[in-house]
Structure 1
Amino acid sequence: MDLQDDFVKKMVEEFVPIHKFLGLKLVDIKTDFAKVKVPFRSEVVGDIRSNRWHGGIITTIMDSVGGLVGGTHLSSLEDKMSTIDIRVDFLRPAHNEAIIVEGETVRLGKRILVTKMKAYLANDPKQELIAEGKGVYSFIRLKENS
């Protein structure tokens, strides 16, 4: 399956309710890597005094991107994946503009997937990190690749 096809994009953007709610847009996906863009809007505000992103929303997006990275390794629709742990370090404020979140595989074992993610403001040419994180996922293949 070509990971860039319209079907995958539609699945990611429209079939996952939280992705659709957030307006998540798939920018790139390939084996071991995923990149999304999420627009800023009033529903993602955490600090009403400065109109900045809520850290929990950024964490949710990072978790989703870690899951997308894992999805590049699925061998069937019957495989199972779930978050075991996620850690996010917030490095600087996320001002009121779109963000980009990228994720990549650190390690994929027989039952555990580890990913690392990074987030930055979409209009920042230096791509200075607003947050970085690590996700650990239970990854169970119910059917082996043939």
Structure 2
Amino acid sequence: MQSKDVAPEFAGLARFMEAGIPFNAMLGVHVDRLVRGECVLRIPWNDRLIGDPTRPAVHGGVISMLADTSGGAVCFSMLDNRDDRVSTVDLRVDYLRPGPSQDLLCRAKVIRMGNKVAVTRMEVFAHALPAAGEEGEPIATAQAVYNVVRRSE
């Protein structure tokens, strides 16, 4: 099990992202980092993630799911009321290279958090995130727009 860097106020959100969403639980999603405005999710490698058995390479849907889920989680980290909701409006994924047979990690950051719309940027890496200050070579990049519904209003 990976060590976690989860701010105490987001421990419940981290548990929900891992076990409260059945699809995430099926894929074994782990929250490696969750602080206000930044999130890192991991999907451990297993052979069921293969989309192209001739390489083998990770299925593109797994990569886009990880990007979207990370983007949604980082949006939730910006909300003060846990009854508020976010839903994906638009997701753009650029696949840069085949995903190798390794763990997948996605780092998500909030670019803009408005009252009704949020914009996030994500990078998906194989095996590990690059060291601090290094760019690394993502296998995919993504940007997403989320609808924000504030129940408190």
TM-score above 0.5, yes or no: yes
Tell whether the 8 Å contact from 2:95 to 2:141 is kept in structure 1 after alignment.
yes
Look up the equivalent residue of 1:19 and give its one-letter code: N
- Unmatched 5+ residue regions in structure 2? 1-6
The separation in 1 between residues aligned to 2:33 and 2:129, in whole angstroms, is 18
Percent identical across equivalent pairs? 27
Partner of 1:3: 9
Moved more, 39-48 or 104-113: 39-48
- Please tell me the root mean square deviation across aligned C-alpha atoms, in Å: 1.8
The answer on 1:130 being equivalent to 2:135 is: no
Partner of 1:115: 120
- Among residues 37, 59, 63, which one is paired with 2:42 in the alignment? 37
The answer on 1:83 being equivalent to 2:88 is: yes
Partner of 1:59: 64
- Number of aligned residue pairs: give it: 143
CA displacement at 1:123 relative to structure 2: 4.3
The runs of at least 4 aligned residues of structure 1 exceeding 4 Å deviation read 123-126
Q: Secondary structure at the match of 1:78?
A: coil
Tell whether the 8 Å contact from 1:36 to 1:65 is kept in structure 2 after alignment.
yes
The separation in 2 between residues aligned to 1:90 and 1:33, in whole angstroms, is 22
Q: Secondary structure at the match of 1:115?
A: strand
CA displacement at 1:15 relative to structure 2: 0.8
Q: Structure 1 length as normaliser, TM-score? A: 0.90
Q: Structure 2 length as normaliser, TM-score? A: 0.86
- Unmatched 5+ residue regions in structure 1? none
Q: Secondary structure at the match of 2:148?
A: strand
Look up the equivalent residue of 2:75 and give its one-letter code: G
CA displacement at 1:130 relative to structure 2: 0.3
CA displacement 1:11-65 (0-9 Å, x = unmatched): 2211111110111110000111100111111221110111210111100110000
